[in-house]
Structures are given as C-alpha cells and as structure tokens.
Amino acid sequence: MAGEPLIFRVHAIQRMAQRGINVEDVRRVLDTGEVIEDYPDDFPYPSALVLGWIGRQATHVVAATTPAERIVITVYEPDPARWESDFKRRKP
C-alpha cells in the first residue's frame, strides 16, 4: 500500500499539529509499521491501528483503507499507562 494517496481527517490534522508530527512521519508509520488491531466492521471503510516509530517515539496511526487511498483518522503517541511496554497491547 506504500505510495497511495493519504487523506487526513480534521481530527488527525489537529492531533498531528499538537504533537509535532508531520505528513512524512505518518506515511513512514503506515509504510513500515505493524498492524496491531484490525477494525473490519468500521464504517464506512475498514480501518486498522498501526504501530510505528518516529525516531525513538512509538506512534499509533488509525487509518481506513479504500481501494484508492488511506484515510488517516487519528495519530497519537501511546500512553505507557494504557499500553504494555511494547505498545502493541492495551493494559487490562
């Protein structure tokens, strides 16, 4: 899916601005990261939570996939209080 157009929801743009994350960072996470949760029933398109790294910082990107593009829904740095140390699993 590398290279497909990215569409950013307003929420994602706001979160990126708050966290100093740019478009290239998001693309890198989506292109090289690991899908850690799938949301096949999301509407209007299936989406997934992707874990990637921006430098030494773990980053989560939620994106929906259509046949022609990816829609970035949100971007955030996972909270260690809510995620296991590998940032792949939520704490109970």
pLDDT tens, position by position, 16-65: 999 999 999 999 999 999 999 999 999 999 999 999 999 999 999 999 99
* 70 domain-assigned: yes
In this predicted structure, the answer to whether residue 1 has a pLDDT above a threshold of 60 is no
* 91 domain-assigned: no
- Give CA–CA dist 59/78, Å, rounded: 6
* 82 domain-assigned: no
Angle between helices 10-19 and 23-32 (to 10 degrees): 100
Domain containing residue 70: CATH number: 3.30.2310
Mean pLDDT, range 61-78, rounded to an integer: 95
Number of structural domains found in the chain: 1
pLDDT tier for residue 3 given thresholds of 50, 70 and 90: low
Domain containing 68: what range?
A: 6-76
